[in-house]
Amino acid sequence: MTTRNQRNTAPPALLVRGGHLVDPVSGRDGLFDVLIEHGRVVGVGSPGSLDPAQLAMPGMGSDVPVIDARGLIVAPGFVDMHVHLREPGYEYKETIETGTRAAVAGGVTSVACMANTDPVNDNASVTKYIIDKGAEAGYANVYPIGAVSVGLKGERMAEFGKMVEAGIVAVSDDGMPVADSSLMRRALEYARMFDIPVIVHEEDPGLCCGAVMNEGTVSVRLGLRGMPSAGESVMVARDIELARATRGRLHIAHISCAEAVEMVRRAKAEGLAVTAEAAPHHFILEESAVDGYNTNAKMKPPLRTARDVEAVRQGLADGTIDAIATDHAPHHRDEKVCEFDKAAFGILGLETMLPLSLELVRAGYLSMTRLIDALAPAPSRILGIERGTLEPGAVADLVLFDPEREWTLTAATMVSKSRNTPFDGWKMKGRVVRTLVGGVTVWEHTE
């Protein structure tokens, strides 16, 4: 495996040849060559039709470097709109550099990072720090998400405007649900001025107080305190009503229960500005993964039942759930190797996003085009960022992957600084072979 970072200059021209392009925005789904110049897509054509010599680069001729994409899918780089990069403040778990490197290893070329750092990203200076660090690292594009409330305390609204000017693409108190309905109402209203979504972590603090997993058969058997589905759905219901009242843009993070999926489905049918994302663990794992007090199966919202897993899959299939986002949440070993009650919530996501998501294609829930839509264009639309397509003129962020290649995940060799994955030792199918950001190869997998 080798990686280069973006400080390597982009070649003036580059041809990605012979791959199967899946670009939902243009509707292309077939064999196409992609020509890139100065970090942007300049031409997409049938195999062999793009001659760099006759396009915008006279004089380059046959010297244009070629990436052989035969047998691979070529897609817009994935946009993971829900990650925790942990910097500033928790660099022992992950840094912006290690997190974005894990991103590109997973085919993710853009990440939106949550505000629960220390200090909290509730002001423009922290926003700017994160953006600078992301640029310095030179792997994935980093789009910070600002806090809804100062210090994530759920009391006073943070300065959305100044943070937007500094570069945030959304606001969220992720990890700390906004309990105060009045604050949520104002946030949805005020955010309209900047046309940014308010991303909500739906967890009723009273119903979920002290709980560590889904409430149900497994929690009853293990003697662990459970979070009922209602702990999520009552908040989703509240926020949909507030979105209706305010006409604000509401985005439901990591939706996990059947009731919530149905509420979003109805809200969309009514035409409300409500979107949603789901994490791969919520459509691959059930609550029984906690058996044996497996702290790598501890996250919020919790793993739920087979019925909920099916609802999330159906929600992704019919577009009720717009996007797949990982909620990449690195934690140090010591925060996971401990009593279950004490263990931190959350798991790694970036490096397993593609193979886990491909399971839904293989099982017939999603077409490949719909999968790529959920991984790139959909989150780009929600965040209002110009990513997620390989139309001529677009930034050349792309991923080349082999959907059939099998490999075994080994936690110890993951790119992230942390190791907290429930998928250690799992046979995976689908491998990112190369990732380009702005026309530069930032990740290349070699066997």
The residues binding other proteins (CB under 8 A) are 215-217, 220-225, 283-294, 297, 303, 306, 309, 334, 337-342, 359-360, 362-363, 422, 426
Tokens 């997998």 label which residue?
445
Closer by beta carbon to other proteins, 30 or else 206? 206
Provide the CA 418 distance to its chain's centre, in angstroms: 17
Query: 230-246 and 181-191 are packed helices; what angle lies between their axes, rounded to 10 degrees?
Result: 50
**Could you tell me the CA-to-CA distances from 137 to 85, 130, 167, 197, 436 in Å, in that order?**
12, 11, 17, 27, 14
User: Please, what is the minimum distance in Å from the beta carbon of residue 297 to other proteins?
Assistant: 6
Show Cβ contacts of residue 397 under 8 Å, excluding neighbours closer than 6 positions: 76, 77, 109, 110, 141, 387, 436, 437, 438
Rounding to the nearest 10 degrees, give the CA dihedral for residues 293, 298, 302, 306. Answer: -50
Measured from the CB atom, is 55 or 361 closer to other proteins?
361
* In the complex, minimum distance from the CB of residue 144 to other proteins, in angstroms, rounded to a whole number: 33
| Three-class DSSP category at 404 | strand
Indicate left, alpha or beta for 69 from its phi (over 0: left) and psi (-120 to 50: alpha): alpha
Nearer to other proteins, 20 or 93 (CB): 93
* Residue spans of beta strands (DSSP E) within 145-242: 171-172, 198-200, 213-214, 226-227
Q: What is the spatial distance between Cα 84 and Cα 99, in angstroms, rounded to a whole number? A: 8
Nearer Cβ to other proteins (97/287): 287
Least distance from other proteins to the Cβ atom of residue 409, Å = 12
C-beta of 247 vs 342, nearer to other proteins: 342
Quick one: which of 372, 387, 395, 379 has its CA closest to 197?
379
Give the number of residues written for the chain: 447
Q: What is the DSSP letter of 418?
A: -
Nearer to other proteins, 25 or 222 (CB): 222
Q: How far is the CB of 282 from other proteins (least distance, A)?
A: 9
Nearer to other proteins, 123 or 288 (CB): 288
DSSP of 421-433? -TTTT-EEEEEEE
Closer residue to other proteins, CB minimum distance, 174 or 215 = 215
Nearer to other proteins, 253 or 360 (CB): 360
In the bound complex, what is the minimum distance in angstroms from residue 124's beta carbon to other proteins? 37
Residue 322 Cβ, how far from other proteins at the closest point, in Å? 21
Rounded to whole angstroms, the Cα distance separating 173 from 152 reads 6
Determine which one of 174, 322, 327, 397 is catalytic: 327
DSSP 28-72: EEEEEEEEEETTEEEEEESTT---GGGTT-TTTGGGS-EEE-TTS
Q: Give min distance, CB of 314 to other proteins, in A.
A: 13
CB of 170 to other proteins, least distance (A): 29
Task: Using alpha carbons, list the distances in angstroms from residue 329 to 266, 279, 412.
Answer: 30, 12, 16
Is 334 a catalytic site residue? no
CA dihedral of 233, 369, 376, 401, whole degrees rounded to 10: 120
Distance (Å, rounded) from C-alpha 134 to C-alpha 168? 13
CB of 292 to other proteins, least distance (A): 5
Q: How many CA atoms lie within 13 A of 168 on its CB side?
A: 31
Report the catalytic residues: 327
